[in-house]
């Protein structure tokens, strides 16, 4: 031990205050090496490990500075051996807290940390983008579309066999539609029903399908008014033609799994879903919705792990749900709350379906990854889709593509000349409401949905939006001064009032889940409409001063219409299969006597004719209806006006004096198309 070490050691012993850094572990921690490495450096490199006695002012800094100086000198020697350089490196001054090497090492560590942080953030953002669906790719990208047929108007309800080789659809002329079918491809198709079945149209169901082996075309049909379970059934006809035969009695829709299990639903309240297993003694009910809520379009996932179906309230409050074949694990897949139909699965994760946008336009084609659950619209252009089917492997789809329009027509209910028919009022419009000197209606103009008035032949816009979805029809106040309407816009539900000249638009409320049509109370101080509560619509009174709605009718109720004297209102009840009952309530909500009346789906709109005892209703099948007059005292019904076979009414209104009516005519021209996509 040299003299300096002896003096230092003696000083440390005398004072007793100096700190002896004689721990190999502490030195190793400082150098960020293990103890054995530090010991080896001392022996081989002459590192000043044991020069560790310092005075009490800055002993640690002095020692670290000495170590740093040795390391800088040693590194310079190693570099000189590598590069041939013979330039000395100046050692740092004793007592300096940090050398350039120490600072460089610190910035290197910071740079490395920043780089790793950036990489981690980039990975997290990539994951987030993927999870949010921003990396979505359309399942129909690069698919080939081929037009298959053009047999006439209203081609609809396309169906495809599991192997993708046979196609079936509805087509015809006028009100009579038949089932057509044949091999996929532009060519000739055979009429399989020949006018034998009048009631085979129901846009709310998959009315056509194929048997599991593809030898039969199956079709939904309805007898009588469809109010009894036995009125609805599934029939079948051979793909090559032949007599009709029973297939699934009392069932409305069905689907086969790959292992030959069958899922179907009946028309009982809640559309209960049943699963039939091969060899089982009885069918197993797996789900039933609350009364008034419907379950349509059941289908199996490709791996048979789930049954998907549409659940909601007709006509435009639907979403996709799924459940295990055992009835367990009920889940909601979408939250669009719009009109939906014809879901198909292309693979275990990709589901394609038809749906309208929030503004009511469409139906368009949508797709959703059932794991991520972010819907994406995958169709473009002005054409809408009315049906969709897919092969079992998802490589072939068939669809009916339609161009739809609505127009306004006027019909005289008085002493009209013999043979006088409807007269065109406006080529673009729907949901008419008649006032004393104006006609109120809804129309698309320049890509915007708007509410318009027509006075003495001059049209004027009251309100419009490029993004809003109008719920129900606008309502004109009894004195004709104000218009009330309800829209979905920017994820909000808004009840608006606007003066009939378009001035003073204001929002009454933004918190109600309205369904169906609005109606003004006779005194003009409030509105009545159905509001969804606990999943079921109930007619409530809505004050215009912003107060909370007041319950009016306790049962399932939609589309209220006040009697001219304000003593009672008429409304429609829950669907029973393809029909629903007509009911009435007094002004205070108590039941009001009304003859027993069952109407067909699509006929919820009713209107009074001059006095409280006469009600105009729509009667007929789903595809075509005429105007009938119902006597509320006796229950007697008589034909009021017969419309041409190619006229389909969506909504109507009658003038206060009962001499004329205005209605919207719904028309569409459609064709069958094949979509071929590459296997994924």
Residue 679 within a domain? no
Residue 91 within a domain? yes
Count of domains in the chain? 4
Residue 367 within a domain? no
Residue 650 within a domain? no
CA distances from 296 to 51, 188, 205, 254, 270 (A): 87, 31, 6, 9, 10
Q: Give the percent of the chain with pLDDT over 90.
A: 50
pLDDT tens digits, 69-78: 555 555 555 4
* pLDDT for the residue numbered 432: 96
The verdict on 489 and 623 lying in the same domain is no
Q: Which of 344, 359, 383 is where one domain is finished?
A: 344
Binning pLDDT at 50, 70 and 90, where does residue 388 land?
very high
More confident residue, 353 or 513: 353
The verdict on 186 and 328 lying in the same domain is yes
The verdict on 448 and 560 lying in the same domain is no
The verdict on 456 and 596 lying in the same domain is no
pLDDT > 50? residue 87? no
pLDDT tens digits, 126-148: 555 454 444 678 999 889 999 88
pLDDT > 90? residue 17? no
* pLDDT for the residue numbered 21: 42
* pLDDT for the residue numbered 154: 64
The verdict on 198 and 337 lying in the same domain is yes
DSSP letter string, 529-574? EEEEETTEEEEEEEETTSPPPEE---SS-EEEEE-TTSSEEEEE--
500-509: long-range contacts (C-beta < 8 A, 24 or more apart)? 500/435, 500/438, 500/440, 500/453, 500/462, 500/476, 501/462, 502/460, 502/461, 502/462, 502/463, 505/463, 508/484, 508/542, 508/544, 508/546, 509/542, 509/546
The verdict on 161 and 253 lying in the same domain is yes
DSSP letter string, 162-225? TTS-EEEEEEEETTEEEEEEEESSSS--EESSTT--S----TTS--EEE-TTSSEEEEEEE-TT
pLDDT tens digits, 19-64: 434 455 666 666 666 666 666 656 555 555 544 333 333 333 444 4
pLDDT tens digits, 559-602: 999 999 999 999 999 887 778 899 999 999 999 999 999 998 88
pLDDT tens digits, 168-222: 999 876 567 889 999 998 777 899 998 887 778 787 889 999 999 999 999 998 8
The verdict on 558 and 506 lying in the same domain is no
pLDDT > 70? residue 521? yes
The verdict on 49 and 191 lying in the same domain is no
More confident residue, 326 or 466: 326
Please give the Cα distance from 212 to 256 (Å, whole number).
Answer: 6
CA distances from 314 to 288, 292, 323, 551, 560 (A): 16, 9, 21, 22, 16
CATH at 503: 2.120.10.30
Across residues 295-316, what is the average pLDDT? 94
pLDDT tens digits, 414-460: 765 555 689 999 999 999 999 988 999 999 887 788 999 999 889 99
The verdict on 463 and 575 lying in the same domain is no
pLDDT tens digits, 591-642: 999 999 999 888 899 999 988 999 999 998 777 889 999 999 999 999 998 8
DSSP letter string, 429-459? -EEEEE-SS-EEEEEEETTEEEEEEEETTEE
Q: What is the mean pLDDT of the chain?
A: 82
Full domain range(s) for residue 556: 515-644
Residue 305 within a domain? yes
Q: Which of 460, 477, 511 is where one domain is finished?
A: 511
The verdict on 183 and 287 lying in the same domain is yes
Q: Which of 344, 369, 398 is where one domain is finished?
A: 344
The verdict on 177 and 73 lying in the same domain is no
Residue 420 within a domain? yes
Residue 107 within a domain? no
Residue 657 within a domain? no
pLDDT > 70? residue 387? yes
Token pair 């009454």: residue: 508
* pLDDT for the residue numbered 95: 46
* pLDDT for the residue numbered 76: 55
The verdict on 468 and 579 lying in the same domain is no
pTM (2 d.p.): 0.68
């Amino acid at each position: 031990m040299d003299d300096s070490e002896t003096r230092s050691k003696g000083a440390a012993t005398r004072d007793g205050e100096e700190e002896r850094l004689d721990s190999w572990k502490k030195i190793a921690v400082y150098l960020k090496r293990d103890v054995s490495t530090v010991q080896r450096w001392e022996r081989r490199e002459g590192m000043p490990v044991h020069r560790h006695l310092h005075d009490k002012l800055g002993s640690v800094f002095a020692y670290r500075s000495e170590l740093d100086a040795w390391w800088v000198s040693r590194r310079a020697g190693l570099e000189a051996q590598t590069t041939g350089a013979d330039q000395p490196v100046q050692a740092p001054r004793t007592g300096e807290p940090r050398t350039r090497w120490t600072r460089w090492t610190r910035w290197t560590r910071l740079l490395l940390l920043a780089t790793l942080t950036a990489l981690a953030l980039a990975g997290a953002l990539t994951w987030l983008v993927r999870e949010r669906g921003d990396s979505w790719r359309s399942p129909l990208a690069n698919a080939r579309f081929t037009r298959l047929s053009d047999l006439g108007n209203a081609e609809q309800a396309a169906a495809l066999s599991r192997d993708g080789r046979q196609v079936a659809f509805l087509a015809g002329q006028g009100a009579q539609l038949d089932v057509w079918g044949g091999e996929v491809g532009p060519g000739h198709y055979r009429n399989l029903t020949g006018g034998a079945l009048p009631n085979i149209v129901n846009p709310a169901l998959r009315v056509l399908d194929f048997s599991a082996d593809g030898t039969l075309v199956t079709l939904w049909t309805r007898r009588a008014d469809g109010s009894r379970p036995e009125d609805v059934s599934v029939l079948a006809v051979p793909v090559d033609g032949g007599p009709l035969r029973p297939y699934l009695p009392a069932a409305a829709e069905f689907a086969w799994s790959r292992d030959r299990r069958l899922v179907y639903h009946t028309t009982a309240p809640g559309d209960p879903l049943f699963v039939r297993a091969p060899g089982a003694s009885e069918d197993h009910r797996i789900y039933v919705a609350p009364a008034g809520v419907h379950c349509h379009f059941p289908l199996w996932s490709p791996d048979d792990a789930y049954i998907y179906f549409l659940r909601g309230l007709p006509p435009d409050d639907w979403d996709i749900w799924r459940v295990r074949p055992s009835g367990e694990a009920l889940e909601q897949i979408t939250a669009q709350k719009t009109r939906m139909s014809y879901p198909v699965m292309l693979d275990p994760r990709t589901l394609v379906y038809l749906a309208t946008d929030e503004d009511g336009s469409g139906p368009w084609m949508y797709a959703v990854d059932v794991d991520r659950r972010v819907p994406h619209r995958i169709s473009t252009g002005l054409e809408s889709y009315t049906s969709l089917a897919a092969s079992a492997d998802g490589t072939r789809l068939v669809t009916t593509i339609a161009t739809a329009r609505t127009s306004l027509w006027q019909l005289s209910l008085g002493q009209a000349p013999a043979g006088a028919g409807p007269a065109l009022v406006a080529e673009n419009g729907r949901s008419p409401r008649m006032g004393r000197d104006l006609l109120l209606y809804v129309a698309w103009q320049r890509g915007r949905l708007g509410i318009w008035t027509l006075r003495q032949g001059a049209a004027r816009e009251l309100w419009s939006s490029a993004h809003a979805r109008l719920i129900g029809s606008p309502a004109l106040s009894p004195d004709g001064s104000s218009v009330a309407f309800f829209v979905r816009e920017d994820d909000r539900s808004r009840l608006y009032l606007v003066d009939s000249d378009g001035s003073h638009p204001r929002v009454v409320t933004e918190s109600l889940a309205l369904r169906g049509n609005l109606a003004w109370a006779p005194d003009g101080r409030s509105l009545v409409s159905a509001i969804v509560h606990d999943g079921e619509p109930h007619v409530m009174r809505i004050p215009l001063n912003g107060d909370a709605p007041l319950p009016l009718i306790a049962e399932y109720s939609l589309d209220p219409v006040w009697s001219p004297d304000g003593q009672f209102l008429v409304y429609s009840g829950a669907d029973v299969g393809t029909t629903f009952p007509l009911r009435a309530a007094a002004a205070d909500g108590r039941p009001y006597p009304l003859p027993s009346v069952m109407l067909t789906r699509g006929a919820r709109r009713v209107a009074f004719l001059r006095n409280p005892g006469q009600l105009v209703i729509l009667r007929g099948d789903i595809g075509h209806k005429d105007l009938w007059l119902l006597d509320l005292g006796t229950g007697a019904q008589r034909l009021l006006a017969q419309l041409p076979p190619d006229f389909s009414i969506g909504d109507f209104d009658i003038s206060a004096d009962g001499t004329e009516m205005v209605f919207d005519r719904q028309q569409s021209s459609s064709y069958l198309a094949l979509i071929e996509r590459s296997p994924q």
